[in-house]
Amino acid sequence: MTTTKTRQKPRPKRPKRAALLPGQVSGPGGHTGFPVRGCGCWLCATHRAAEREAAETRALEVKYDGEPLVEGSVLLAPNASAELRAVLGVHYDL
């Protein structure tokens, strides 16, 4: 009884990440202060994360704009001026 090995077909090589996301520079040179569209490098990913965080912060600012301060939400140091206490509506000391 003889066994014959069947030859497996070679798998095609997986393209590198840079080939999957080709950079499209849409400004004054890539990787300066903004994410390049389609780029997957760490710097562009960091820029995108910072933009998401800034957008979330802006949304919170808009949501709570004009809301009254809740008593106890502002703690002042003992050296805070009377004018600051009056503006913030703080009527108690620590």
Residue 91 lies in a domain: yes
pLDDT for position 53: 96
Instruction: Give the Å distances, CA to CA, from 63 to 52, 58, 67.
Output: 17, 9, 9
| Structural domains in the chain (count) | 2
Q: What is the residue range of 52's domain?
A: 30-63
Per-residue pLDDT of the chain (94 residues; tens, 9 = 90+): 566 667 788 887 776 655 555 555 555 455 677 888 888 888 888 989 999 999 999 999 898 887 776 766 677 888 888 888 888 776 655 5
Whole-angstrom distance, CA of residue 8 vs CA of residue 68 = 71
Name residues whose C-beta falls within 8 Å of residue 68's C-beta, 6 or more positions apart in sequence. none
pLDDT for position 50: 93
Residue 75 lies in a domain: yes
Residues 42 and 59 in one domain: yes
Residues 74 and 57 in one domain: no
pLDDT for position 51: 93
Residues 35 and 57 in one domain: yes
Residue 14 lies in a domain: no
End-to-end CA distance of the chain: 92
Residue 17 lies in a domain: no
